[in-house]
Amino acid sequence: MSLTLKPSEIYFSQSSINNQFKNGRQIGQVLDDICEGRISVSSFPLISVMKRDGRWTTSDNRRLWVFRELERLGKLDEIAVVQVYSIHDKKLTTINGGVSVKVRGTGPGGIWHNRLASTASLSTYLRSWRDMFDSSDSLDSI
């Protein structure tokens, strides 16, 4: 069965993931490629999800990491997924309920995962910074 979910509604099945896909590309580099329009989300196979303990869980943890980062960056709202009815036991290693995953190796690579989530976050930051100044000070001159 095919459905659509927000990446943040899908939980990791593993406690950690390799920082590279099977083809050797770092997950952060793939994120960069999507953010910069070199590849499309639609070029990826659908993530398989299973309802486990009332949560959608996937064994496609590296792809989920990329899609969650895209959602955090405001570049993706939902993804098509396919429902399955089992996940191999060796993939069920999460120790935090699948909320987050540790990236093994030298980190994810790439640069986009270090960026602010949205202009709304930037606006909030700038407003709080502006509030540190007296009302007589003007940020327009900066």
CATH of the domain at 53: 3.90.1530
Interval 57-75 mean pLDDT: 96
Q: CA-to-CA distance for 108 and 29, rounded, in angstroms?
A: 8
Residue 95 lies in a domain: yes
Residue 114 is predicted with a pLDDT of 86
Residue 140 lies in a domain: no
Contacts of 45 (CB under 8 A, 6+ apart): 60, 63
For the chain, the domain total comes to 1
Residue 139 lies in a domain: no
Is 126's pLDDT higher than 80? Answer: no
Higher pLDDT, 136 or 76: 76
Q: Are 90 and 15 in contact (CB under 8 A)?
A: no
Residue 112 lies in a domain: yes
Percentage of the chain with pLDDT > 90? 75
Helix then strand then coil, % of the chain, to nearest 5: 35, 20, 45
Residue 101 is predicted with a pLDDT of 96
Residue 119 is predicted with a pLDDT of 47
The band of 99, judged by pLDDT with boundaries at 50, 70 and 90, is: very high
Strands 47-52 and 55-58: antiparallel
Strands 79-83 and 2-5: antiparallel
Residue 113 is predicted with a pLDDT of 87
Site of tokens 């329009």:
37
Interval 68-89 mean pLDDT: 95
Domain that holds residue 61: 2-134
Residue 17 lies in a domain: yes
Residue 141 lies in a domain: no
The band of 103, judged by pLDDT with boundaries at 50, 70 and 90, is: very high
